[in-house]
Amino acid sequence: MAETGASPAAGTGRAAAEETVTAGTGEALVTETGGAPAAGTLHGLGVSPGRAAGRVCRMADPPRLPAPRPVADTARETALALRALEEVAAELSARAGRAPGSEAGAILEAQSFMAADPGLRETVEENVAAGMDAGHAVDAACGHHRRALLEAGGHFAERAADLDDIRNRAVAAVLGLPVPGVPDPGHPFVLVAGDLAPADTVNLDPATVLALVTEKGGPTSHTAILARSRGLPAVVACRGAPEIGDGTWVSVDGTAGEVVTGLAEEAAEEILRRAAAERRRLAASTGPGRTADGRAVELLLNIGSAADLGAGAQAEGVGLFRTEFLFLGRADAPGFEEQVAAYEAVLRASPGGKVVVRTLDAGTDKPLPFLDLPEEPNPALGVRGLRVGRVRQDVLDVQLDAIAEAARASGVQPWVMAPMVTTAGEAADFAARARARGVTRVGAMIEVPAAALRAGRLLRELDFLSIGTNDLSQYAFAADRQHGELADLLDPWQAGLLRLVAECGRAGRAAGKPVGVCGEAAADPLLATVLVGLGVTSLSMSAPSLAPVRERLARTSLAACETGARIALDADDPAAAREAVAGMTAAGAARR
C-alpha cells in the first residue's frame, strides 16, 4: 500500500546530500544535491512515469464565500446563480471543442453536461427559494450533489472533483472574481494542488508544467489519465502535498510515487539535465520492437480517438482503440454515420497497418446513461463490456456494422476484439457476429481470470488475445482498480497475475496465434521484458512509454526475458520480483 506523509530523506545523516534518480527507465543515477534546506520525502501514488524537478507553483485556493446576504429579489438572485452555471457549462464545452475527439475533450464535455444538469439547477432554485443568496445557493447545491456522488462510490466518487471545479468556477462567476485555474508564473514549474479538475489538466502546457503533485486523486482519476497521455510525471494521493511551500524546489518521481522537497536549485537543475539526457538517449532508439537477439515484439499504441494518434508516429500500429470515448458523456448513443466517421478516421490515420478496435466497454467505471442499464449492487461484477449485449445487443450490433462499413470505406481491415469475454461460448458468439460482417481478425480481451485459465479453448474460436492487465488484476485480486489504498494488490508484478499471463502466453504459442498485452503493465519497461518471456507477442501503451520500452527490449535477449519471467513467477512479492529481474538483466548486460 502506498505510504503517505513526510519522512526524512534517504540516507538520514546526509539528508538529501545524495539522491537516487530514476528517469523512467529503472536506471539508478546518483545526484549530489548539496546543502539543501529541510529536505524530506513525501510518498503518494506514482500514476504517470518519469522524473522532473523544479520550482513549486501552488494552485490558488478556491474562492471564499463572503457572509450570507439577505435576498430581496428571488427571481433576480435565481437568474444570477443559473447564469453563472450556464457560463461555466459554456466555457467547459468551448474548451472541449478545442480538443475535439480526444479523451480530454470527452471528459470536458461530460463535465459541461454536469454543470448544465437540470437536477443541479433545480437544487439551486430551491436553495434561493429557501432564502440563500446566489453564491451560497450554488455552493450548497454543488455540496448536495457531491455527497450523492461520494455515496455512490467508485467512478462516481472520483467525479466529485469535477463538481468541486464547477462549484469554484460558478461561485467565482457569481462574485465577479477571476476564474480559478492553473497559475502562470512565467517560468517552468511543478504544479501542486489539492486536486485538479479536467478543465485544469487539459490545457496544461508540457513546456511550462514539469510535473504534477496532488493531495487527492486515485490511479484512474482524471489527473492520472491526462498526465499519462501528456507524458507528465505525476504523483497523486500525496497527503503531505499541502505542506509543500510555494516557490520551493522539489523533485517528482512519477514511477516510484515520491516527491523530494527542500532541494537546492542546483540539485533540481542537475536532475532536469539528467532527465533530458535520458530522454534524448531513449529518443535515439527507433524502429520496430525487437529483443537484443532480434525476436520481433510489436510495439503498439493505446488510443481513444484519431486525435491521440499524433504523438505515436513511432508505434507499429494501434493495439487498443477504446471506442467508448465516443459514447461517454452523451445523452444518446452516437448514430451509425457518426461511428463510421470516427472509426474510419482512425483506420485512415493509423501509423502502421494494424489497428485493434475494441468494441464498446460500458458499465461500472464507464457508465453510459442512455443504455438504461439496471442499478446493480456490484457494477464491476455486473453487466459490463460484452455483457451489455445481454440487454442491449442492438447497440453492439450497430457498432459492429459501423466498424465493418469503416473498413470497407477506408480499405483497411481492423482487428476487432470484445472486452470482458469470460467463456468460450461468449467468444464463439462474438466471433460469429463479427465474421458475419466480414471482420477477418476477431479476438478477445483477457480481463477475467476464468478466460485466462481457458485461453487455449478461447483461441479455438478466435484469432488473437489481448490481455487487459488493469481489469485482470482487479478480478484476480478482488481489489477495485480505482481504490488507491489497494494499490499494492493491483501491482502488475504480482506473481498471481503473471501466472495468468503465462497461461495465455502458453496457449498462444501452442495455437500459433498472437497474444498481446494492452493494460498498463505493458508500459513498464522492465516488466515488458518479463511479459515477452511469458510468451507475449505485442505490447500496447500510450505514446510516452514507447521509447523506454523499445530501448529496454533492445538490450535484453529473449533468453534473458525468459529467465526474468521464471524469476518473477516465483518471487515472494512484487518488490522482490522487480529487484531480482533488474539485478539479473544488469548482470547480463555487464557480462556482454
Nearest to ligand PEP of 180, 419 (CB atom): 419
CB of 468 to Mg ion, least distance (A): 4
Is 562 marked within a binding site? no
Given 468, 505, 516, 533, the residue binding Mg ion (CB under 5 A): 468
Which region among 24-32, 326-334, 441-449, 559-567 touches Mg ion (by CB under 5 A)? 441-449
Report helix, strand or coil for 296.
strand
Q: Which is nearer to Mg ion, 235 or 326 (CB)?
A: 326
User: Residue 322 binds which one of Mg ion, ligand PEP, none, with CB within 5 to 8 A depending on kind?
Assistant: ligand PEP
- Min dist CB 520 to ligand PEP, Å, is 7
Q: Which of the residues 57, 504, 518, 561 is marked catalytic?
A: 518
Q: How far is the CB of 524 from ligand PEP (least distance, A)?
A: 13
CB of 358 to ligand PEP, least distance (A): 8
Q: Minimum distance between the CB of residue 519 and Mg ion, rounded to whole angstroms?
A: 7
Cα–Cα nearest to 173, from 88, 96, 112, 295: 88
- Helix extents (H) in 454-517: 455-458, 469-476, 495-511
Size of the site for Mg ion (CB under 5 A): 3
Q: Is 322 annotated as a binding residue?
A: yes
Identity of the residue, 405 or 426, whose beta carbon is nearer to ligand PEP in the bound complex: 426
C-beta atoms surrounding 206 within 10 Å = 13
453 or 582: CB nearest ligand PEP: 453
Known active-site residue 518: yes
Instruction: Name the residue among 265, 239, 230, 238 with its Cα closest to residue 250.
Output: 265
- Amino acid in the structure at residue 298: E
Measured from the CB of residue 223, what is the shortest distance to ligand PEP in angstroms?
Answer: 16
> In this structure, are residues 205 and 227 in contact, taking their beta carbons and an 8 Å threshold?
no
Rounded to whole angstroms, the maximal C-alpha distance in the chain is 83
Residue 62, phi then psi, degrees to nearest 5: -65, 155
**Pick from ligand PEP, Mg ion, none: which does 251 bind, CB < 5 to 8 A by kind?**
none
What's the closest the beta carbon of residue 589 comes to Mg ion, in angstroms? 34
DSSP state at residue 520: G
In whole angstroms, what is the distance from residue 36 CA to residue 312 CA? Answer: 39
Q: Which of 165, 215, 463, 471 binds Mg ion (CB under 5 A)?
A: 471
Q: Are 182 and 48 in contact (CB under 8 A)?
A: no
Quick one: CA dihedral 573, 575, 577, 579, positive or negative? negative
3-state secondary structure of 259: strand
For ligand PEP, which is the closer residue by CB, 55 or 354? Answer: 354
Give Cα 130 to chain centroid, integer Å: 42
User: Is 265 annotated to bind ligand?
Assistant: no
Q: What angle do CA 318, 323, 329 make, to 5 degrees?
A: 140
CB nearer to ligand PEP: give 180 or 468. 468
Strands 258-263 and 40-43: antiparallel
SS3 content of the chain, % helix, strand, coil (to 5): 50, 15, 35
**In the complex, which residue's CB is closest to Mg ion?**
471
- Of the candidate spans 14-22, 47-55, 442-450, 495-503, the one that interacts with Mg ion by CB under 5 A turns out to be 442-450
Q: What would the DSSP string read from start to end of 417-462? A: EESS--SHHHHHHHHHHHHHTT-SEEEEEE-SHHHHHTHHHHTTT-
Minimum CB distance to ligand PEP, residue 307 (Å): 17
469 binds, among ligand PEP, Mg ion, none (CB under 5 to 8 A by kind): ligand PEP
The listed partner (Mg ion, ligand PEP, none) that binds 102, CB under 5 to 8 Å by sort, is none
Q: Respond yes or no: is residue 144 known to be catalytic.
A: no
Contacts of 312 (CB under 8 A, 6+ apart): 301, 303, 318, 351, 543, 546
If you search the block for the grid coordinates 537477439, which residue do you land on? 293
Number of other CB atoms surrounding residue 570 within 10 Å: 12
Q: Given 57, 142, 222, 238, which residue is catalytic?
A: 222
Report what 142 binds from Mg ion, ligand PEP, none; CB cut-off 5-8 Å by kind. Answer: none
Q: 67 Cβ partners below 8 Å, 6+ apart?
A: none
Q: Which is nearer to ligand PEP, 211 or 417 (CB)?
A: 417
Rounded to an integer, what distance in angstroms lies between the CA atom of residue 24 and that of residue 556? 17
Choose among 556, 559, 519, 558: nearest CA to 539.
Answer: 519
Is 447 known to sit in a ligand binding site? yes
CB of 569 to ligand PEP, least distance (A): 20
CB proximity list for 222: less than 8 A, separation 6 or greater: 107, 158, 161, 162, 196, 197, 198, 201
Counting contacts by CB under 5 A, is residue 492 touching Mg ion? no
Q: Which residues contact 414 (CB under 8 A, 6 or more apart)?
A: 321, 343, 347, 355, 356, 357, 403, 406, 407, 439, 441
209-214 and 189-193 strand pairing: parallel
Check whether 127 is labelled as a binding-site residue.
Answer: no
Q: Is 471 annotated as a binding residue?
A: yes
Question: Which residues here bind ligand PEP, judged by CB under 6 A?
Answer: 320, 322, 361, 447, 468-471, 518-519
Residue with cell 471545479: 165
Task: Write down the residue that cell numbers 515484439 correspond to.
Answer: 297
List the single partner that 519 binds among Mg ion, ligand PEP, none, CB under 5 to 8 Å by kind.
ligand PEP
Residues engaged in binding Mg ion (CB under 5 A): 447, 468, 471
Q: Which residues fall in the annotated binding site?
A: 322, 358, 447, 470-471, 481
| Residues with a known catalytic role | 222, 518
Q: Which residues fall in the annotated binding site for phosphoenolpyruvate?
A: 322, 358, 470-471, 481
